Structure 1
Amino acid sequence: MQSKKSLGQHWLKDRASLLAMCQAAQVSESDTVLEIGPGTGSLTAFLLKKARKVIAVELDHDLASSLSHKFPTNSLEVIGADILKFDLTRLPAGYKVVANIPYYLTGNLLKMLCESSNPPSKMALLVQKEVAERLAAEPGQMSLLAVSVQLYYEVEIGTVVPARLFSPPPKVDSQIVALARRQKPLFENLDYKLFFRLVKAGFSARRKKLRSSLSAGLRISKDQADGLLNQAGIDGNLRAQNLSLADWNRLALAYSDKQK
């Protein structure tokens, strides 16, 4: 079946890479796995051999119909739908996600999965190599995406999958990234809304120093921004990418105190 460029379809058929994705999510015979964008079913075939149940959500209705006929088994449920509109609460707690996701979908999909009231316990995603590196970033290279994901998940990057192993080949290499849900919240009594308000303000002007980006993003004076940073023990001359999650938490606590 011909791939559709408009849907960002690049199909992976390399057996070693497909197996590596299953291993990255530690798929076992008791698992329910959500596969996003199964395409022609190359990964689906591997998942069906390892998982108890595979729920495959495919936007392309032609592919969804074809997949149902290709794997006539009760272990597979194919749903023709937009994953961003899919109700994750219908899945059993502790489900896993394994997916070769369209590049354009990565940010919105991760936000949906991380912030869901029924989040996956583990994920193995095949993403652009650059995105995988961003997800696993450390202070000095942090981004809004990295903070947003690492707050909820431990991140480990794995096998690099060259562009030539896809059909049609994308313009860049991909990499498997494994995400494991944190067993307990990283910070106690965190006000998530306030936390992300600060983080978004900090990253709103990446090239600016924190005192300037926080001042503009929070609509406070630079003196007030300096007061927050001083209370949190953070140098106002740093930039947002230099901060750790613990730094952002201290800043959120300081900001919360100022709101009282």
Structure 2
Amino acid sequence: MRIALAGKGGAGKTTIAATLARLTARTGARVLAIDADSNPNLGAALGIDAARTAPVAHLPAALVSRRLDGAALTVPVEELIHTHGLPGPDGVDLVCMGAPEHAGEGCLCSAHATVSALLADLGSFPATVAVVDMEASPEQLSRGTVQHADVLLLIAEPYFRSLETVRRLAALSAELSIAEVAVVANKLRSAADREAISEFCERHGLRCWGEVPWSEKVVRADLAARPLLDAAPEGAAVSAIAQLSTRLGDLELA
């Protein structure tokens, strides 16, 4: 299963992605975490020393070739993970999209193509769960970078700009062949927050698959540069993400 997470910057994608990846790995599943953000932070959220993520984990453009039917990997998936993956806590492997090394380099077209090709080839590994932390941008949908995802989780905070971002992302995702698109409500502080997300989903024909409450423990974990799962394993936020992991594990895709 290939799960991508999208949303406005600061909505909580990376924290949820990292926690989801590790909790899923604890069930015995093989998990590949893919940092599809050119400003990568997923490794730190997983608990991997930032010094280890560069340059080994970054996927070079040479890993992909362009064909008439789209981008394709030039090496087998297993070789890619062995060469460019980093092992993380709970057995999660991490790979990162290519990032700019200098100013004025130009676009990241090849980096996006590499992630797209990896997700395409992961379709032949249904037992592997890929968790993709996307950029805070509609570009990975407009480019079709995550067109091969099975599930797209739109992370929504209960305020206008975050919900407006989710609305735009949902409209773009409807033009791709993603089997399941759903909202995860994050940073809920009150019943009013919960109602705002519920009303939004109903108005736009979206389903809400999870609710993660606001927690000072999440803020403190980030300030301490510690993974949420290590800093507050019994907290309400981790519990809510665990429920989301269970729901995804029970999902039957056509």
* Pairwise TM-score range, normalised by the shorter structure: 0.3 to 0.5
- TM-score relative to the length of structure 1: 0.36
- Which one has a bigger Cα radius of gyration? 1
- TM-score relative to the length of structure 2: 0.37
Q: Looking at both structures, which has the greater relative contact order when contacts are Cα pairs under 8 Å and sequence separation is at least 6?
A: 2
